[in-house]
Amino acid sequence: MIKSTDLPDVSSQNFGISEVYMRRNPQRTRLDSNRPLVEFFPMGPISRFADEFRRTEFFTACIDVARRALPAPLLVWLRSQMVRNLSGGPREVFTEIYRRNIWGYQETASGGGSTLHYTEKLREALPRLVADLNIRTLLDLPCGDFHWMSEVKLPVTHYIGSDIVTRLVENARIRYGRPEREFRTLDLCKDVLPQADLLLCRDCLMHLSEEMIFLALANIIRSDIKYLLITTYPDGKNRSIRIGDWFPINLCAAPYNFPAPLRTIDDWVPPFDQRQLGLWEIESLRRICPVSG
């Protein structure tokens, strides 16, 4: 597990990182969602039954109904409960989420935001943006199971799909790999990122703790990549979560303080929260948050 002492050395005006971590506030980091009504034992019969139930079409239908019918605070609490027993760093947590299908969709292991229905508009808009920017090499991190992206005809010469979950990468390589389309296991927070014209970072930071988000951003800024296309919620409220949980990250608000994006792509369908993929030149982020090393 990465400690706060591993954070990049940047000044307080850059993403507010010193203010956030050098002035630790125990009250802020204590999450009410860590107070469950019932304790579940990961290897017990209830947990094993739940793992099998999450793989059924009925469970997927229940999730869709819940999103439409339940109040937002209850949905947030339920999301937290699904991951509250998971421990370790991002690799361990997301591997367990994949192994147990905790996000509960049969169509795709990557959750409700990666279904063909959810990504219909994105699959139309993304190739146009890539062509407009004259992108030749695209790094897709995290690529998940490559389900929706397999239906996209990208005008690129080289696609690099990467994920922290080794089994996802291996399966995608076997099923979708070809000379111009490769798959690698990468950790966005610490691994050296391959050279690319565009980094697509969709549905990632919103599942990380604040500490891990800053590590990921610092790693992106150190990379030799020109553009960043990343998930952001214009009306989202930032908070710190446990790894694997969810929150509507707003990259243009404190403590991240990104400038206005160059372009945006709407990336949502009802009843999900409204959100976008925002485009930034990474050089503009370096001026805000210079990182050494």
Query: What kind and span of H or E run contains 263?
Result: strand 263-266
Q: Which of 213, 218, 225, 217 is nearest to 249 (CA)?
A: 213
Among 102, 122, 112, 101, smallest CA distance to 64 is for 112
Q: What is d(CA 148, CA 171) in angstroms, rounded to the nearest whole number?
A: 15
Name the nearest CA neighbour of 30 among 242, 256, 268: 242
pLDDT of amino acid 13: 40
Tokens 């699904």 found at: 82
Angle at alpha carbon of residue 177, lines to 153 and 277, rounded to 5°: 45
* 33-293 CATH, one of 3.40.50.150, 3.50.50.60, 3.40.50.970, 3.40.50.10860: 3.40.50.150
Residue 18 is predicted with a pLDDT of 33
- The Cα–Cα gap between 102 and 165 comes to 14
Contact between 193 and 225 (Cβ < 8 Å): yes
CB atoms within 10 A of CB 256: 23
Residue type, 233: Y
Show me where the domains of the chain are located: 33-293
For residue 29, give every residue at least 6 positions away whose Cβ sits within 8 Å of its Cβ, in sequence order, or none: 240
Question: Cis link prior to 271 (omega < 30° from 0)?
Answer: yes
Q: Could you state, in chain order, the average pLDDT of each consecutive group of 10 residues for the chain (293 residues)?
A: 37 39 38 39 59 58 66 67 81 91 81 94 98 99 98 98 98 98 98 99 97 97 98 97 94 96 96 94 85 52
Q: What is the pLDDT of residue 44?
A: 63
Q: Rounded to whole angstroms, how far apart are CA atoms 241 and 247?
A: 7
**Per this entry, what is the length of the chain?**
293
pLDDT for res 12: 36
Residue pair 39/89 in contact by the 8 Å Cβ criterion: no
Predicted local confidence at residue 103, as pLDDT: 73
Which pLDDT score, from 0 to 100, does residue 16 have? 42
**DSSP state, 140?**
E
**Of the candidates 143, 124, 113, the residue with the CA atom closest to the CA atom of residue 274:** 113
pLDDT for residue 272 = 84
- Cβ atoms of 112 and 61 within 8 Å: the answer is no
Task: Output the CA torsion 161→167→168→174 (10° steps).
Answer: 70
Sheet holding 263-266, edge to edge: 181-185, 158-163, 137-140, 196-201, 225-232, 276-281, 263-266
Q: Which two tokens stand for residue 164?
A: 């922290």
| pLDDT of 2 | 38
